[in-house]
């Protein structure tokens, strides 16, 4: 049985990728993931803010009260070498991880502007990253900013990052574009080799005790897989790039659905955080079992078999399928029966 799949030009032993999460923030846990069968890892994200602000902060607080009082020209020893800035630490980590594992290592950059931080992309490549995932999550709060401006900012940032690297670049998209498919196309035209559909944005909440707005990271469930399936299904074979389904992939069944809709790979985070690295084995076991039962020999055989192009019910991917979905709703399952 052949579980292998091609993703960003790499031959993965199976479609399971560990996406950026605390589990991919240390060489030890990444090694465990590999040992349990994961096929590639996306490292925890290096944020634009980490690259920019840490240095600025250190610079500010080391010097902010200097040269204002005769007895204390300065307050902290500043002729010290910072060997472990977060950004530099990240680079060292890549080197270390690359030495300890064999599967592809995808570095992750998270930012919104086209500032100097994009230069870090080339440093990540130099440090040994096999590919780079770019995560742009911009929340426009200016009501005068039109969608074209926002979209252009995304595309410009992608182009700029691509200028700095020769390794494959993948974009972790959000789903809130007017036409995600068009954005996907423009990303690919800007040099992207892969798309991850979609990100799992941090949510906003209000704390009634402090009367403050707060951010929360969200654990996903299989219920959230739908949008990934839809857009993998729509984009399958439409663009010369790899597709990775993210958000809501928790079970072997979810993986199968993603691949069948058209994904080359899937990315896992919440399920691993909840159940640990060993769950990879369970998922793979389920896939093998299902393939045996259904007499599939390979992943490539099933890939895109129920995509928009190949499905017997293309209307399911479209709005008109709404009524039909409701009619097919099964109380015992959280998904329309047709997909089971």
For binding to another protein (CB under 8 A), which residues are involved? 51-52, 54-77, 79-85, 87, 89, 116-117, 119, 211-212
Cα 36 from Cα 317, distance rounded (Å): 34
Q: Is residue 45 classed as helix, strand or coil in its secondary structure?
A: coil
H/E stretch holding 172: strand 169-173
Q: Shortest distance, CB of residue 319 to another protein, whole angstroms?
A: 39
Q: Tell me the C-alpha distance between 112 and 52, whole Å.
A: 12
Nearer to another protein, 143 or 208 (CB): 208
Q: Are 286 and 259 in contact (CB under 8 A)?
A: no
Q: Label residue 32 exposed, middle or buried (CB < 10 Å: 0-12, 13-18, 19+).
A: middle
Least distance (Å) between residue 118 CB and another protein: 11
Cα separation, 188 vs 191, whole angstroms: 5
In the complex, least distance from residue 57 CB atom to another protein, rounded to whole angstroms: 8
Smallest distance from another protein to CB 79, Å: 5
DSSP state of 298: B
Q: Of 63 and 176, which has the nearer Cβ to another protein?
A: 63
Q: CB of residue 74 vs another protein: minimum separation in angstroms? A: 6
**How far is the CA of 227 from the CAs of 125, 217, 247, 330, in angstroms?**
31, 19, 9, 19
56 vs 182, beta carbon nearer another protein = 56
Asked if 52 and 42 count as a contact pair (C-beta separation under 8 A), the reply is no
Nearest of 278, 289, 279 to residue 256 by alpha carbon: 289
62 burial type by CB count under 10 A (0-12 exposed, 13-18 middle, 19+ buried): middle
**C-alpha span between 93 and 27 (Å, rounded):** 7
Q: How far is the CB of 52 from another protein (least distance, A)?
A: 6
Instruction: Indicate the residue among 165 and 265 with the shorter CB distance to another protein.
Output: 165
Q: Of 206 and 326, which CB lies nearer to another protein in the complex structure? A: 206
At its nearest, how many Å lie between another protein and the CB of residue 78? 9
Give the Cα separation of 303 and 244 in Å (integer).
Answer: 12
* C-beta of 58 vs 302, nearer to another protein: 58
Decide whether 119 or 337 has the Cβ nearer to another protein. 119
User: Considering the complex, what minimum distance in angstroms separates the CB of residue 196 from another protein?
Assistant: 28
Which residue number, 84 or 166, has a Cβ lying nearer to another protein? Answer: 84
Angle between the 86-100 and 120-127 helix axes, to the nearest 10 degrees?
A: 30
Task: Reduce the DSSP state of residue 89 to 3 states and report it.
Answer: helix
């Amino acid at each position: 049985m052949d579980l292998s799949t091609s993703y960003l030009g790499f031959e993965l032993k199976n479609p399971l990728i560990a996406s950026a999460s605390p589990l991919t923030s240390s060489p030890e846990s990444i090694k465990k993931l590999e040992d349990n069968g994961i096929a590639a890892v996306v490292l925890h994200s290096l944020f634009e803010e980490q690259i920019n602000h840490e240095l600025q902060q250190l610079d500010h607080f080391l010097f902010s009260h200097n040269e204002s009082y005769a007895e204390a020209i300065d307050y902290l020893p500043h002729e010290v070498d910072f060997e472990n800035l977060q950004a530099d630490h990240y680079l060292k980590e890549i080197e270390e991880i690359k030495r300890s594992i064999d599967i592809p290592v995808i570095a992750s950059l998270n930012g919104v502007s086209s500032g100097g931080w994009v230069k870090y992309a080339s440093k990540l490549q130099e440090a040994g990253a096999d590919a780079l995932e770019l995560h742009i999550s911009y929340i426009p709060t200016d009501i005068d900013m039109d969608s074209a401006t926002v979209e252009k900012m995304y595309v410009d940032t992608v182009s700029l990052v691509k200028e700095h690297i020769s390794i494959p670049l993948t974009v972790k998209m959000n789903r809130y574009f007017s036409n995600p498919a068009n954005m996907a196309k423009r990303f690919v035209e800007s040099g992207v080799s892969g798309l991850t559909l979609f990100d799992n944005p941090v949510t906003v909440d209000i704390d009634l005790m402090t009367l403050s707005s707060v951010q929360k990271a969200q654990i996903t469930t299989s219920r959230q897989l739908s949008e990934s399936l839809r857009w993998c299904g729509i984009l399958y074979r439409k663009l010369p790039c790899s597709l990775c389904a993210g958000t809501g992939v928790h079970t072997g069944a979810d993986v199968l659905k993603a691949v069948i809709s058209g994904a080359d790979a899937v990315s896992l985070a919440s399920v691993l955080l909840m159940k640990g690295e060993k769950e990879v084995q369970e998922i793979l076991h389920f896939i093998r079992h299902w393939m045996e039962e259904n007499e599939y020999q390979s992943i490539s055989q099933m890939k895109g078999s129920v995509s928009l192009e190949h499905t017997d019910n293309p209307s399911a991917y479209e709005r008109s399928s709404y009524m039909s979905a409701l009619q097919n709703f099964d109380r015992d399952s959280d998904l329309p029966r047709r997909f089971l």
